Amino acid sequence: MLKKLFGIAPKLEPDGSYSPSKVALKIGVADKTDYENISYQKYSGIKNKILVICTEDKNLKMKNGKYFSTGNHPVETLLPMLHLRNAGFEFEIATPTGKPAIFEMWAFPNKDEHVNAIYQELESNFEKPRSLSDFINKSFNQSDDFAAVFIPGGHGAMIGIPEDRNVAKILRWANEKELFTISLCHGPGAFLSTTLDNKEFLYRGYNLAVFPDSVDNQTPLMGYLPGKMPHGLSEKLKSLGANLMNTKMDKTVCVDRKLITGSSPLASNELGKLAATELLKSLS
């Protein structure tokens, strides 16, 4: 009752899941982003495609049994894609089984014309994506068409994707073909898939940015999450041999070899700029 009174009670959704409280939304969600409309010298070669691996799952079970209403974070997905599109790249959208990509619409920056425009432009692609198995079967032999794999953030990236062997196959394919891998916030949860079947962690020794477990542990206090996370991500990546470049939810971005990462939604614009610049530099 007191949590409701002070606006820090998570909102119960019709399907029984919980979205962030009024206070959490006021603190953590903005109606406009810090997007910079930069004019890049557009890439015009054949390696102009980027595979975007989105989650198709909405509800993440917390330690207390409650479900967080999540998905792909719209800013963490669309803001980097704006920069990459402006740099001349196109997108192949995929989800694990080909079901529609799910977004945290409560986090959508409704007054941001640029984010709204690219969402509307790609909405049909998000609604009818490829499955990962279809991509593996039909596009692995077309690696010359691809420049990168992008895994957006959002807590939804922690549902199923870290345990998906097709995700692991794609990450190893990208690494072998020297494509860029781009991710931020909770998106690097996908990297855990490379340890399946007792294989060595693909990014051991890499520098990377990721959302800190310490912040996830604090957000239930203001009703952002309806409970503690089922397990941490940043400390798990660290235990596998990754070198973490941030300890806060901030604008940290990092490039190490062909891996480009960002720490949080606050880093979305910086990640997009860095990714666009690095891809153009590599392909020039």
Is 4 a residue whose pLDDT tops 70?
no
**What pLDDT is stored for residue 6 in this prediction?**
54
276: enclosing H helix or E strand: helix 268-283
What is the rounded (10 degree) CA torsion for 216, 217, 219, 221?
A: 170
Q: For residue 78, what pLDDT band results from cuts at 50, 70 and 90?
A: very high
Asked if 247 and 214 touch (Cβ cutoff 8 Å), the reply is: yes
Tokens 């803001």 map to which residue? 79
**What pLDDT is stored for residue 268 in this prediction?**
98
Residue 92 carries which side chain, given as an amino acid letter?
Answer: E
Q: What is the CATH number of domain 44-283?
A: 3.40.50.880
Angle at 204 between CA 162 and CA 76, to 5 degrees: 50
Alpha-helical segments (H) within 91-248: 113-127, 132-139, 165-176, 213-218, 234-239
What would the pLDDT profile of 128-139 be if each residue is shown by its tens digit?
999 999 999 999
Q: For residue 3, what pLDDT band results from cuts at 50, 70 and 90?
A: low
The Cα 169–Cα 192 span in angstroms is 12
Residue 210 carries which side chain, given as an amino acid letter?
Answer: V
Is 266 a residue whose pLDDT tops 60?
yes
**What pLDDT is stored for residue 7 in this prediction?**
72
φ/ψ of 37, rounded to 5, equals: -80, 85
The Cα 79–Cα 215 span in angstroms is 22
What would the pLDDT profile of 250-264 be if each residue is shown by its tens digit?
999 999 999 999 999
Q: How remote is the C-alpha of 108 from its chain's centroid?
A: 14
What would the pLDDT profile of 171-220 be if each residue is shown by its tens digit?
999 999 999 999 999 999 999 999 999 999 999 999 999 999 999 999 99
The Cα 209–Cα 160 span in angstroms is 21
Q: Give the SS3 label for residue 117.
A: helix
Mean pLDDT value of segment 70-97: 98
Mean pLDDT value of segment 69-87: 98
How, if at all, do strands 253-256 and 90-95 pair? unpaired
Residues designated catalytic: 185
In the predicted model, what is the mean pLDDT of the chain? 96
> Dihedral sign, CA of 168, 169, 174, 176?
positive
**What pLDDT is stored for residue 2 in this prediction?**
44
The Cα 97–Cα 95 span in angstroms is 6
Q: For residue 93, what pLDDT band results from cuts at 50, 70 and 90?
A: very high
Share of the chain above pLDDT 90, in %: 95
What would the pLDDT profile of 7-52 be if each residue is shown by its tens digit?
789 999 999 999 999 999 999 899 999 999 999 999 999 999 999 9
Asked if 236 and 192 touch (Cβ cutoff 8 Å), the reply is: yes
Tokens 């542990």 map to which residue? 217
Q: Give the SS3 label for residue 70.
A: coil
